[in-house]
């Protein structure tokens, strides 16, 4: 792994002063709308890992921490406000060792979480609790099936338990556990990283399993179809993609179908993740943002590989794990993947979302890793305390893009340089929202210089735009329990004159504006 000089650079990120004012002209093509930006692109991931489920989401019905049926009220309220469209559970690597019967009914089977540090797994948060959590936050359910250490029958029974009518024995068992109405299982994952923690399988070995799970795991809730997501690649090598897509294409008759192919890609620089989540300078900032921009050629290459078999783009490229994977918080259990979350990470999230929007014809769901207390989390908790991260705020600001229609933009991104690292200076995306308004998201990647944007909106006669800006005192600014509002969006308005919206962005900041 390339090591960077441990230079610590504190940056003043306010506009004006001696900073040069660059101007970027952005043209929004309102006449040629692109694909729908599926709201599922804003999906999240909650694995049984570290303090995510136990403490972060589930505190138990007798906890002093305010809860609804054992699920934290503060976390639910924050996530509900975010309009999380879908949540993936129970893993990750953990999914391939999860046995659903351990987590239903009155008697739970306590186990060891061998995927993540041999932590105690009480199984007090199981299927019914997950469905309750998803319903409380208003999200759809994406359940990862155990292909590694489970069987086709176990997975088929699990989905039958969740979806069958009460005339079936498993539906009756669900009713006896307090849930007579079948659940909606919107997505199932047919394994997880089967090329690595999911069993180190070759494509052929995986396909032998996957075909059976895809064929024999059935949803019985006719009101809500279940989409099936196969394990896909974790690099830009397309051999795995080709093998799965070829098998899908050659299927016939009553065999099986797929709706998604997963892609996992983290921003970590190199394995093992060692870049600090706090106390870093511009070198780390530039390095990790450059690393994150690899998402663009990666999804372009994998999507093109899928095109060979599926030119109509019936199968979604489902990026169901992405985000910054950094060095563990000093003093924490390294197997718990705890890290802080800074202004840099919010920008990293914006750049990834922008890439997903540009590929919205193929990418119809993604799941940031992860939701609470793990990796690039939305929320951090410690006992009764809770804090929202910069990534949470960025996701909330991007809310108008959910189910909006992509609008092409043109601009000269210019360059921002740090040492031998060259990055685009800015990024910009635009869309038409569900209610017909134009929304733009503008990112100033440059760590030192403010940038003025002039956004040309032909045919748009609006007089003003409203939105929020996410900026911070420093690149590595974070929110803590003691100082929860260090990185927080601020309201911003901009005027539109002669079809042009003008706004100036502080260094390392993101602004989202909706036209009135
Ligand atoms: O998100 C953490 C882990 O990263 C997941 O469990 C696994 O799928 C991936 O390797």
Distance set, CA 139 to CA 6, 33, 67, 84, 313 (Å): 42, 28, 18, 6, 25
The whole model's pTM is what?
0.95
pLDDT at 58 (0 to 100): 98
Intra-chain end-to-end CA distance of the chain, in Å = 48
Query: Is residue 132 within a helix (H) or strand (E), and if so which, with residue range?
Result: helix 127-137
Within 231-372, strands assigned E span 260-267, 316-324, 365-369
Summarize pLDDT for 390-434 with one digit per residue, the tens: 999 999 999 999 999 999 999 999 999 999 999 999 999 999 999
Q: Ligand 1: which residue has its CA nearest to atom 7?
A: 92
pLDDT at 7 (0 to 100): 25
Catalytic residues: 193, 321
Asked if residue 173 has its Cβ within 6 Å of ligand 1, the reply is no
Mean pLDDT per 10-residue interval, the chain, length 516 residues: 26 34 90 97 98 98 98 98 98 98 98 98 98 98 98 98 98 98 98 98 98 98 98 98 98 93 97 97 98 98 98 98 98 98 98 98 98 98 98 98 98 96 98 96 98 90 88 98 98 91 96 94
Summarize pLDDT for 32-71 with one digit per residue, the tens: 999 999 999 999 999 999 999 999 999 999 999 999 999 9
pLDDT at 174 (0 to 100): 98
Residue 488 alpha carbon to ligand 1 centre in Å = 29
Asked if residue 390 has its Cβ within 6 Å of ligand 1, the reply is no
> What tokens were used for 462?
């609006």
Nearest CA-CA partner of 336 in 130, 115, 159, 89: 115
* Residue owning tokens 């733009």: 440
* Residues 360/36, Cβ–Cβ less than 8 Å: yes
**How far apart are the C-alpha atoms of 94 and 148, rounded to whole Å?**
10
Residue 196 alpha carbon to ligand 1 centre in Å = 10
Asked if residue 323 has its Cβ within 6 Å of ligand 1, the reply is no
Residue 399 alpha carbon to ligand 1 centre in Å = 26
Question: ω before 92 within 30° of 0 (cis)?
Answer: yes
pLDDT at 497 (0 to 100): 87
Asked if residue 47 has its Cβ within 6 Å of ligand 1, the reply is yes
pLDDT at 5 (0 to 100): 27
* Residues 182/164, Cβ–Cβ less than 8 Å: yes
Find the DSSP H helices in 190-232: 203-216
Asked if residue 193 has its Cβ within 6 Å of ligand 1, the reply is yes
Closest ligand 1 atom to the C-alpha of 192? 8
Helix (H, G, I), strand (E, B) or coil at 348: helix
Sequential DSSP letters for 276-290 = -SSS--HHHHHHHHH
Strand pairing of 86-89 and 43-45?
A: parallel
Q: How many CB atoms lie within 10 A of CB 419?
A: 12
Asked if residue 229 has its Cβ within 6 Å of ligand 1, the reply is no
Identify which of 189, 197, 325 to mutate to test ligand 1's pocket (most ligand atoms within 8 A of the CB).
Answer: 197
């Amino acid at each position: 792994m390339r090591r960077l000089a441990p230079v610590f650079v504190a940056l003043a990120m306010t506009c004006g002063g001696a900073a040069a004012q660059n101007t970027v002209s952005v043209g929004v093509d309102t006449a040629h709308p692109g694909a729908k930006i599926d709201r599922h692109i804003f999906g999240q991931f909650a694995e049984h890992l570290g303090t995510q489920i136990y403490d972060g989401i589930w505190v138990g019905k007798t906890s002093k921490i305010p809860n609804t049926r054992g699920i934290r009220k503060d976390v639910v309220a924050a996530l509900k406000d975010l309009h999380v469209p879908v949540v993936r559970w129970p893993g990750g690597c953990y999914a391939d060792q999860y046995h659903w019967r351990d987590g239903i009914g009155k008697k739970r089977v306590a186990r060891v979480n061998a995927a993540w540090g041999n932590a105690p797994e009480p199984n007090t948060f199981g299927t019914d609790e997950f469905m309750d959590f998803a319903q409380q936050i208003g999200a759809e359910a994406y359940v990862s099936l155990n292909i590694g250490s489970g069987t086709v029958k176990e997975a088929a029974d699990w989905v039958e338990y969740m979806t069958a009518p009460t005339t079936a024995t498993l539906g009756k068992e669900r009713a006896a556990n307090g849930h007579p109405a079948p659940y909606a299982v919107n997505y199932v994952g047919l394994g997880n990283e089967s090329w690595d923690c999911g069993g180190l399988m070759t494509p052929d070995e995986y396909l032998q399993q996957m075909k059976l799970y895809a064929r024999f795991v059935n949803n019985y809730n006719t009101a809500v179809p279940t989409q099936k997501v196969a394990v896909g690649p974790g690099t830009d090598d397309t051999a795995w993609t080709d093998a799965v897509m070829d098998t899908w294409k050659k299927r016939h008759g009553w065999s099986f179908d797929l709706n998604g192919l997963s892609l996992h890609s983290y921003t970590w620089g190199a394995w093992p993740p060692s870049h600090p989540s706090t106390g870093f300078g511009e070198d780390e900032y530039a390095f990790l943002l450059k690393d994150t921009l690899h998402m663009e050629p990666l999804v372009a290459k994998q999507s093109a590989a899928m095109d060979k078999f599926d030119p109509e783009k019936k199968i979604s490229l489902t990026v169901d794990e992405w985000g910054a994977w950094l060095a563990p918080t000093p003093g924490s259990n390294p197997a718990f993947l705890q890290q802080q979350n800074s202004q840099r990470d919010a920008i990293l999230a914006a750049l990834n979302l922008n890439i997903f929007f540009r590929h919205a014809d193929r990418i119809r769901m993604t799941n940031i890793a992860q939701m609470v207390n793990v990796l690039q989390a939305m929320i951090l908790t410690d006992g009764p305390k809770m804090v929202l991260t910069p990534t949470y705020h960025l996701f909330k600001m991007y809310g108008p893009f959910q189910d909006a229609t992509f609008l092409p933009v043109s601009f000269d991104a210019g360059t921002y340089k740090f040492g031998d690292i060259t990055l685009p200076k800015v990024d910009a995306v635009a869309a038409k929202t569900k209610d017909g308004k134009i929304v733009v998201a503008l990112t100033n990647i440059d760590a030192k210089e403010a940038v003025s944007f002039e956004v040309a909106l032909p045919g748009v006669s609006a007089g003003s735009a409203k939105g929020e800006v996410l900026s911070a005192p420093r690149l590595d600014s974070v929110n803590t329990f003691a100082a929860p509002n260090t990185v927080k969006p601020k309201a911003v308005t901009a005027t539109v004159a002669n079809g042009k919206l003008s706004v100036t962005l502080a260094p390392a900041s993101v602004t989202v504006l909706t036209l009135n």
